[in-house]
C-alpha cells in the first residue's frame, strides 16, 4: 500500500524511489512495504552496514 508521498510521486511521473537505511534501523519496514535491497555498503560507519 502506498502512502501519501508515494501516491503524489506516482501522480507526478516518478517511476522509482531510492531509500537508505542502516542495518540497525528500518530495513524490515521497507521490505514489508514492497521495497527491495539493491545495495549494501559493509562496515560503512562504526562497523554498521548501509542499505539502499
pLDDT value, residue 40: 97
pLDDT value, residue 3: 85
Contact indicator for 29, 1 with CB cutoff of 8 Å: no
pLDDT value, residue 2: 64
Mean pLDDT along residues 5-12: 92
Average pLDDT, the chain: 92
How far apart are the C-alpha atoms of 47 and 33, rounded to whole Å?
A: 27
Amino acid at each position: 500500500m502506498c502512502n501519501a508521498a508515494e501516491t503524489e510521486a506516482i501522480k507526478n511521473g516518478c517511476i522509482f524511489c531510492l531509500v537508505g537505511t542502516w542495518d540497525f534501523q528500518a530495513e524490515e519496514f521497507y521490505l514489508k512495504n514492497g521495497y527491495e535491497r539493491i545495495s549494501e555498503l559493509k562496515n560503512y560507519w562504526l562497523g554498521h552496514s548501509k542499505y539502499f
